Amino acid sequence: MDYKVTKLEEMNTWTEIDESDLPPGAQSLLGMWVHLIKNLETREHKFRSHWVVQGDKQKTDLSLSDTFALVSRITSLWILPALVTIRSMRIFAWDIDSAYLHGKIQHNIFMEFPNGYKIPGKVGKLNKGLYGLPEAAQVWHKDLKDKLKSLRFIRLGSDTGVFLKTSKRGFTVIDTYINDSMGICSSEEESRLKAGIQSSTK
């Protein structure tokens, strides 16, 4: 949990403010620790902890009745491996670490600090999306879309979860599934592409 709280602070997830400075009528959301064990099938256990804010208790003028999590069409997942085989391309996948923490919150949301790390008289004003917020996946996707656009990718009109980049060397396709992605490209483009993506998502 120490690692996770340090990560949250390093990514400027919140701004510490005095509880007395909360706007009139503003609420301070509670949260809880969620602990996960990954790779159970391989027995190479990886332990993960997430601080999840209780976004379902959020009171706001925004419409939060519908949540958002972008996934590509299943047909895209079928087509990409076929193109790899036909054109002898490379296929790659990556998982963005703490993906939701890259999305920027544009309105006031306040939260209590995580259990075990509370500061008397202080609360946090959220700057980034956290797990549990209804809008977290949407602001994360906007951040990813903007970063891919800066790398000269365009989003397909036929599938908004798929991004395409063309060049003299060929083409690169990235398929997104919430905070996981896979893609195909020529072997010459692979290292350059990964370096660009990793530098933009630090």
pLDDT at 70: 74
Question: Which pLDDT does position 185 carry in this prediction?
Answer: 83
Query: Is the pTM for the entire model greater than 0.75?
Result: no
- The number of folded domains in the chain is 1
Q: Give helix 187-200 / helix 136-150 axis angle, nearest 10°.
A: 130
Ranges in the chain, pLDDT < 50: none
The pLDDT score that the predictor gives to residue 40 is 58
The CA-atom distances, in angstroms, between 166 and each of 107, 127, 151, 185 are 36, 34, 11, 10
Residue range of the domain that includes 65: 2-200
Query: Residue holding tokens 């009171």?
Result: 59
